[in-house]
């Protein structure tokens, strides 16, 4: 009988310890969390989504130093795919987020050039719906998701550079801005 009481006491202690760990160190269950620059429900929050900017943080790595910013910064454009030095196929998608003023009429141009500076492909990045509201709102200072489908000529294999250009309908050079980095087209 004493053994049974001992095992029951140990079992209760384990359950209490597990619950304590979950609720003391597990964090709030019903809350809004920032995931890839977008406010996302975690559980069932009782309050509306925060109105503050939810920014994805880019940690400095060896690859982030290969990104070239011209009149731009990581605070204006965040490219999620492809990443610097990525190996891609002849058809791939460019996905990321840019501040609303990077767009004009919900789009901005993308170019892929070879090592000699010749244009291999051009594409138009389109603003995508906000995952929370499902609305396309590019007329904002906040980050706006974008996507572009890019097709490289079948005959090309090798190193290239992808350039994300701020849309500049004025054509004035002082309004030009871009972010670029190397990629490898292999299949």
pLDDT digit string, tens, across residues 99-129: 988 999 999 999 999 999 999 999 999 999 8
Query: Mean pLDDT over all residues of the chain?
Result: 82
Beta strand pairing status for 87-88 and 178-185? parallel
Task: Tell if the pTM clears 0.75, that is, is over it.
Answer: no
Is the predicted pLDDT of residue 1 greater than 70, yes or no?
A: yes
Work out the number of other CB atoms within 10 angstroms of the CB of residue 79: 24
Pairing of strands 38-42, 77-81: unpaired
For the chain, which residues make up each domain, given as ranges? Answer: 2-42, 64-185
Tokens of 84: 């610097």
The larger pLDDT score, comparing residue 111 to residue 131, is at 111
Distances (CA, A) of 180 to 76, 87, 97, 186: 13, 15, 14, 19
Q: In which band, very low, low, confident or very high, does the pLDDT at 165 lie, cut at 50, 70 and 90?
A: very high
pLDDT tens digit sequence for 50-85:
666 665 444 444 444 588 988 888 889 999 999 899
CATH numeric code, 64-185: 2.60.40.2550
Tokens linked to 172? 């004035």
Task: Give the integer Cα–Cα distance in Å for 13 and 35.
Answer: 35
Tokens of 91: 């058809």
């Amino acid at each position: 009988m004493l053994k049974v009481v001992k095992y029951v006491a140990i079992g209760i202690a384990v359950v209490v310890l597990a619950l304590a760990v979950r609720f003391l160190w597990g964090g709030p269950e019903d809350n809004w969390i920032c995931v890839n620059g977008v406010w996302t429900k975690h559980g069932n929050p009782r309050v509306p989504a925060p109105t503050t900017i939810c920014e994805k943080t880019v940690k400095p790595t060896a690859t982030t130093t290969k990104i070239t910013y011209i009149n731009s910064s990581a605070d204006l454009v965040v490219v999620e795919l492809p990443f610097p030095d990525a190996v891609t196929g002849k058809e791939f998608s460019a996905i990321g987020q840019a501040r609303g003023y990077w767009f004009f009429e919900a789009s901005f141009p993308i170019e892929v050039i070879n090592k000699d500076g010749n244009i291999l492909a051009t594409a138009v990045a389109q603003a995508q719906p906000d995952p929370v509201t499902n609305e396309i709102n590019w007329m904002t200072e906040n980050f706006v998701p974008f996507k572009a489908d890019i097709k490289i000529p079948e005959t090309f294999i090798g190193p290239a550079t992808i350039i994300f250009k701020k849309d500049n309908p004025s054509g004035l050079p002082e309004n030009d801005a871009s972010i670029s980095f190397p990629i490898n087209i292999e299949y």
